[in-house]
Structure 1
Amino acid sequence: MKALLNIIWLIFGGLWLALGYAAAGILCCITIVAIPWGIASFRIAGYALWPFGRTVVDKPGAGGWSVLGNVIWIVFAGIWLTIGHITTAIAQAITIIGIPLAIANVKMIPISLLPLGKDIVPSDARFPTYQRA
């Protein structure tokens, strides 16, 4: 089911969304100062390309620099990306077929609002099982 939803997502906007995030990543990397945000944009582009079956988790060891970088990101891009994801989700939720796509769009809001200090992992790896000795 995840593969089918990812294919539908890819056709109905995921490809363009991923290309937009990749273009933003390239622009950020051209300016040497914004490389961390460029890397985050590339990470989001991969997530935007194939979102079903993946989730966002906090990266262990992310510290104060991530917080500072996220504050800067919110001011310059995060708010606008969040508004874009919300309006797109509302438009997608109008049809029954678009409801899962709208949910995926809303699921992308946390990483597009605060991308630094986050990691994208497969959904089944969210709660790793630990072996007992």
Structure 2
Amino acid sequence: MRFLGNLLWILFGGFFSALGWWLAGIFWCITVIGIPIGLQCFKLSTISLCPFGKEIVDEGGAGSFLLNLVWMLVSGLELALGNALIGIVLCITIVGIPFGKQYFKIARLALFPFGARVVKK
């Protein structure tokens, strides 16, 4: 099921989503100050490419909390809301529920990426 879900995900937009996150990560890593944000963009690209069979593990502390707060105010809130809205629309249909759940997972990571780790189930 994971393979089929990831294949359908990639064919219907997951590849372009991951490519966008990957390009954003490269642009952020051009400056020294932007490297931490660029690394989070690379993390989001890995889960945007193949979200089925992966989960998010929180390992954050006080430093991660502060970085997540800044991230949330700068761009994380908009990214998370966009992914959550797509997830809600997909969950309206029965066929779209598995894909909607993956968008909710990406929305959670888009809101709080610092201190989170993507692991295989």
Q: Secondary structure at the match of 2:119?
A: strand
Measure how far apart 1:26 and its partner are. Answer: 1.4
TM-superposed CA distance for 1:64, in Å, is 2.4
Cross-structure match for 1:50: 50
Give, in angstroms, the shift of residue 94 of structure 1: 3.9
The residue that corresponds to 1:118 in the other structure is 116
CA deviations 1:15-53 (Å, max 9, x no partner) are: 111112112211211122121111011011011101111
Residue type of the alignment partner of 1:39: L
User: Where does the alignment leave 5 or more consecutive residues of structure 1 unmatched?
Assistant: 124-133
Aligned partner of residue 16 in structure 2, secondary structure = helix
* CA distance, structure 1, for counterparts of residue 18 and residue 112 of structure 2: 17
Letter in 1 for 2:49: L
Tell me the distance in 1 between the aligned counterparts of 2:27 and 2:34: 9
> Would you say 1:23 and 2:23 are equivalent positions?
yes
CA distances 1:43-96 after superposition (whole Å, capped 9, x unpaired): 11011101111100013xx43221111111001111010111022113323443
RMSD between aligned residues: 1.4
Question: Identity rate of aligned residues, in percent?
Answer: 38
Gaps of 5+ in 2: none
Q: Which runs of 4+ in 1 moved over 4 A?
A: none
Task: State TM-score, norm by structure 2.
Answer: 0.91
Q: How does 1:82-93 map to 2 (within 5 A)?
A: 82-93=80-91
One-letter amino acid matched to 1:93: C
1:37 aligns to what?
37
Q: Distance in 2 between matches of 1:58 and 1:97?
A: 30
- Residue identity matched to 1:41: C
TM-score, length-normalised on structure 1? 0.84
Q: How many matched pairs?
A: 121
